């Protein structure tokens, strides 16, 4: 057990009809907490580093080296994945750093431009044996993703996968990024039709805004990789706030980051177990 490719984890989950948790790393404590969650659950996890996170840290390398080191020390399978990269050069850097999977996000681009850029990324990444996730149908902010027509069309998705060679596809089915309440309504029928139309696993972005029972239904309908960030960040931040409120003299950041890391780990463990529930027989 240790660092593996998301290809292995996503393929196994898709074959078994279960979900695999893909959780975003924000800083060292997040990565540590997520791996603790996976070890407690005895389940694999995908650690994701987004373009925004890389920019926050002044570049991809510092946070990536720390996250890769955490993954290598884990007692369960852990993959490290580049999330929502809109700059192709960032994808190339991730491949060079040793990421086993990357996401190129051309979802906001015109279709033809998305295809051309994604296909070029796939060609380079595949030469290095790296698994590539693409996006079709913008999964944007709360308003945009819920606007009429912002959905992934199954036939267009089939053509996109064939034209680009992506290994997994993030689709717009009603979820939205950065939601702090869990009220998003997913189009389960569309998920089923996308699953039937494609021969690659489906990825659900914006899962923080989706209730547990709806995520479980989405997995049964055909979703495999389940991305979560904002929801877990909330547990971390609330624990920090509670610890600081309890002791106004506290200045040692370890004293409030440690309970925050544990709060995040506890919820991440629960979510990993939820996603990995085997489908009922019959």
**Residues recognised as catalytic:** 83
The span from the CA of 277 to the CA of 274, in Å, is 6
3-state SS assignment for residue 211? coil
Helix H or strand E segment including 189? helix 188-197
- Cα(204)–Cα(137) distance, integer angstroms: 12
Burial tier of 155 (Cβ tally within 10 Å: 0-12, 13-18, 19+): exposed
Distance CA 102, CA 114 (A): 16
Nearest CA to 235 out of 275, 203, 271 is that of: 271
Report how far residue 252's alpha carbon sits from residue 258's, in angstroms, rounded to the nearest whole number: 11
């Amino acid at each position: 057990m240790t660092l593996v490719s998301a290809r292995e984890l996503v393929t196994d989950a898709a074959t078994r009809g279960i979900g695999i948790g893909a959780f975003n790393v924000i800083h060292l404590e997040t990565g540590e907490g997520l791996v603790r969650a996976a070890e407690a659950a005895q389940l694999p996890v995908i650690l994701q580093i987004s373009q925004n996170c890389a920019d926050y840290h002044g570049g991809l390398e510092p946070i990536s080296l720390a996250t890769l080191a955490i993954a290598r020390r884990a007692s369960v399978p852990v993959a490290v994945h580049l999330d929502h990269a809109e700059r192709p050069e960032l994808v190339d850097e991730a491949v060079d750093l040793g990421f086993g999977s990357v996401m190129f996000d051309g979802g906001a681009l015109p279709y033809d431009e998305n295809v051309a850029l994604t296909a070029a990324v796939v060609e380079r990444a595949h030469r290095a044996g790296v698994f590539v996730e693409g996006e079709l149908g913008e999964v944007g902010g709360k308003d945009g993703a819920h606007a009429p027509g912002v959905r992934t069309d199954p036939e267009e998705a089939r053509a996109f996968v064939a034209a680009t060679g992506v290994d997994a596809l993030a689709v717009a089915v009603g979820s939205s990024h950065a939601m702090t309440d869990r009220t998003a309504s997913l189009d389960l029928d569309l998920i089923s039709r996308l699953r039937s139309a494609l021969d690659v696993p489906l990825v659900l972005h914006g899962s923080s805004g989706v209730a547990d029972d709806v995520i479980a239904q989405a997995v049964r309908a055909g979703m495999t990789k389940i991305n979560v960030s904002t929801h877990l960040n909330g547990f971390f931040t609330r624990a920090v706030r509670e610890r600081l409120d309890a002791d106004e003299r506290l200045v040692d950041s370890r004293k409030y980051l440690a309970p925050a890391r544990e709060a995040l780990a506890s919820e991440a463990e629960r979510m990993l177990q939820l996603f990995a529930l085997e489908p009922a027989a019959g």
